[in-house]
Amino acid sequence: MQAQAPGSAGTASGRPDYRWKRPQFFTNPFVRWGVPIAGLAYLVWATSTLSINWNRVAAGIPRAGRIFSNAWPPDFSRSNLIISGFTESIQIALLATALGLLISVPIALLAAKNIMPRGLHWFGRGIIIVARSFHPVIVAIIFVKAVGLGPFAGVLTLTVYSLGFVGKLLAEAIEEIDEGQVEAMRATGAGFIKVLAYAVFPQILPRQVGLSIYQLDSNLRASAVVGVVGAGGIGGTLMNSFRRFDYDFALAILLLIIAIILVSEAISGRLRSGLS
């Protein structure tokens, strides 16, 4: 074979060059140009209607500087408030994770269409969709209205959050299992529950453990957030300190939140790498 110089006309067999171009994602040229133009136009319109006031932005910068200078150095002196707040947040996170994981297993089973009769799986799917439709802060507002201020509302909020997330991913894991094992267990004369115990649970166990660690991690962060709307924990303390312009106390809380999240990240990372 004789190597040909790039750009040479004709192939080795004497035919003219073949032509090949990557197929366009949008074959219609109107769509190909219209989509980015429309996107850009929307961004311009959205920016103009949100009435972004550059004077306020300019005034905000020195104000932010003042807040930060007031906040420094962070004030850790009110340690009893800090400790009780964080203890409550961690309690909320742990309780909600345990509850959420417990409830998510039956709901995931209910939502998996390969093991549930058609129609019935929409019931489980529906619970998951409802649990996932709202951000935890909105759920927390609802629960605070329902059961009053305090950590109980926080536990309920994060339980809903956990069962939505873990339930969805677990249901997907169940739908991806190797059906051959299920078939083999049915062939031995095993009933539904025994088939679950032998052919389904062992297959989803590694996924379940990984999800549990992730969810605990996630609930620790979220427990600080839901406190802001009155669902207990350190978030409430943080909100109060802002309201009273105690910026140095607020900074202390923020730094501790970062520290706790770093620690939980490290622990969960270690656990996860130990699993695989």
Partner 1 sequence: MELSIENLTKSYGRGKPVLSGLNLKVDGSGITSIIGSSGAGKSTLLRCINRLIEPDSGTVRLNDVELTALKGAALRKARRSIGMIFQSFNLLDRLTVMENVLAGRLGYVNFWQASSRRYPQADINRAYELLELVGMEEFVNQRASRLSGGQRQRVGVVRALMQQPSILLADEPTASLDPRTSLQIMELLQDIAGNLGLPVIINIHNVDQARTYTDRIVGLRYGHIIFDGTPADLDEAALDAIYDGKDWNEEPEEPGSGNGGPTGSSSGGSRSTRGSGSSGGKDTKRELEGARA
User: Of the two residues 145 and 194, which places its CB atom closer to partner 1 in the complex?
Assistant: 194
User: Of the two residues 65 and 202, which places its CB atom closer to partner 1 in the complex?
Assistant: 202
Nearest to 136 by CA among 157, 155, 163: 157
> Is 183 a residue that touches partner 1 (CB under 8 A)?
yes
User: Of the two residues 169 and 185, which places its CB atom closer to partner 1 in the complex?
Assistant: 185
Give 272: exposed, middle or buried? Use CB within 10 Å, 0-12, 13-18, 19+. Answer: middle
Given 111, 127, 185, 211, the residue binding partner 1 (CB under 8 A): 185
Cα–Cα distance, 250 to 247 (Å, whole number) = 5
The two three-digit tokens of residue 271, written as one number: 């656990």
> Coil, strand, or helix at residue 132?
helix
The CB-of-198 to partner 1 minimum distance in angstroms stands at: 5
The CB-of-184 to partner 1 minimum distance in angstroms stands at: 4
Burial string for 250-265 (b: 16+ CB within 10 Å, else e) reads: bbbbbebbeebeeebe
Given 2, 180, 273, 274, the residue binding partner 1 (CB under 8 A): 180
Interaction with partner 1 in 191-210: which residues (CB under 8 A)? 191, 193-194, 197-199, 202-203, 205-206
User: Of the two residues 73 and 191, which places its CB atom closer to partner 1 in the complex?
Assistant: 191
What x/- string results for residues 132 through 171 when contact with partner 1 is judged by CB under 8 A?
A: ----------------------------------------
**Could you tell me which stretch among 14-22, 108-116, 173-181, 241-249 binds partner 1 (CB under 8 A)?**
173-181
User: Of the two residues 203 and 240, which places its CB atom closer to partner 1 in the complex?
Assistant: 203
Q: Which residue blocks in 114-246 are alpha helix, DSSP H?
A: 120-133, 136-147, 151-175, 179-187, 192-195, 201-226, 234-243
> In sequence order, what are the residues at sequence separation of 6 or more whose Cβ sits closer than 8 angstroms to the Cβ of residue 210?
272, 275
Given 1, 12, 44, 187, the residue binding partner 1 (CB under 8 A): 187
Give 57: exposed, middle or buried? Use CB within 10 Å, 0-12, 13-18, 19+. Answer: exposed
User: Of the two residues 196 and 239, which places its CB atom closer to partner 1 in the complex?
Assistant: 196
User: Of the two residues 7 and 180, which places its CB atom closer to partner 1 in the complex?
Assistant: 180
> Is 186 a residue that touches partner 1 (CB under 8 A)?
yes
CA distances from 58 to 13, 44, 55, 106, 111 (A): 70, 21, 5, 54, 52
Site for partner 1, rule CB under 8 A: 178, 180-181, 183-191, 193-194, 197-199, 202-203, 205-206
